[in-house]
Structure 1
Amino acid sequence: MRDHHGQLPRQAQVLRELPGVGRYTAGAIASIAFAKAVPVVDGNVSRVLARLFLIEAAIDHPDMVEHLWQLAGALVPRASKGRTPGDFNQALMELGATICTPSSPSCLLCPLGELCQARERGLENTLPRRWKRKAPKLLQHHMLALCNEGQYLMVQRPAHGLWAGLWQFPTDEIDNAEDPWTKVQALRRIKAILGSTPAQVQALATFTHQTTHRTIHFTLWHATIAKAEKPDIESPWRWCTPRGN
């Protein structure tokens, strides 16, 4: 309301500055609602373009995604009598959804059939190709919630890398190929950190977190510590009281 005087922006680039509005949504709004000559690229459009122009590179590779947006942008017509760029974009999406389908495309019914280079080469069922991503690395993260009189030991992650600079429970990060931890391993690790062994330790929770390149299996271990010792940890650390306690 403050930035645009209560009006929905008409330009795709400005629309993309709004929270939750991405490139696709901005293009759809600008071209369909405001007749702006900007492209809309989704999976259907990418497939049509890959077959039409015989694009043999993986269409979901970041470089090719950008190329497809540029290509679609060059094709979008400007508004004319009775027709808008939005009509073109919707027609291209509909073509991919109903005719130029992922498998068994209906090439005989396609209005672009005579122009389609993939059909000419007999590659309509081969294209588009997808980027073969590496399988995510499997990791185990064992977090130690060490409590002393309502305070928990927290350590800061390194300044670079995954979750850089964030604070967390002392955590051992190991390759998933190694054997899962038991209470024995948890007790040994606590003793290495604090120099003493708690009376007991228990696994409170397990969960899995997926990132682009990693599948991380977390286990949260809890132990009550008799004394808040200075931990044998190189990273910055502190004993913290949870908010509300």
Structure 2
Amino acid sequence: MVKGWLAKARGLLGEPHDWCGDCLLCRQPSEEALLCSYCRMALRQEGRHCHGCAAPLPELVPLDRLLCGRCQRRPPPWQRLQVIGDYRAPWPVLVSRFKYSRQWQLAPVLAQLLSDHLDLGDPPEVLIPVPIHWWRRLQRGFNQAEELAREVGRCTGIPVDGSLLRRIRHTPQQSRLSAGTRRRNLRGAFAVRSHHYQHVALLDDVVTTGATAGQLARLLLNSGVARVEVWALCRTQRHLR
């Protein structure tokens, strides 16, 4: 029923290729779907970045150095984090419109931006959207991570498994909690079914403290996965933990 309602909503909103108008961000005439080429470039994070937290690496750091000093001292549970950019203007506007204003037509555009930015030299076997509790899905109307994963899968050819992970316990919204409280809040919140995957990519919209991604990465590693990547549109500028 929910999927049918979403399909109907997409029909009313229109698909990106039907777009004809101004850029959603700068309001200037755009020949591209939803976002002009200037704003698309403004969203990207250039240069080399730490594989652990996606923080920029200084130019003088050797090319074989994959982790920043902090991630070398305290590596994250995942093997690599890839994002388009930091969670700063104009990302908050786009994420809010996509996640809370139900502008689903943004999903293909954001997914294409992420897919173009990814290093796919060693692609994962499967994309796994970060799950949300059924009550949160009912309130929001959809899971933004699933929407993104579906579109990224179309762009990259990587299959999506939306049933591998489940959120089995409803918890307060993470955005309202401190980093330590977030980690405690997530204990026992997720479950994983049996599988044979060895290399997977978790997909979400924004990575903040990394508490959710870390909890899921540990769960997947304990279930037999050998390599976990985390893909997201953006990350907060504070160092992830």
TM-score, with structure 2 as normaliser:
0.18
Relative contact order, CA 8 A, sep 6+: which one is greater?
A: 2
Q: When you count strand as a share of all residues, which structure comes out higher? A: 1
Point out the structure with max Rg over C-alpha: 1
Q: When you count helix as a share of all residues, which structure comes out higher? A: 2
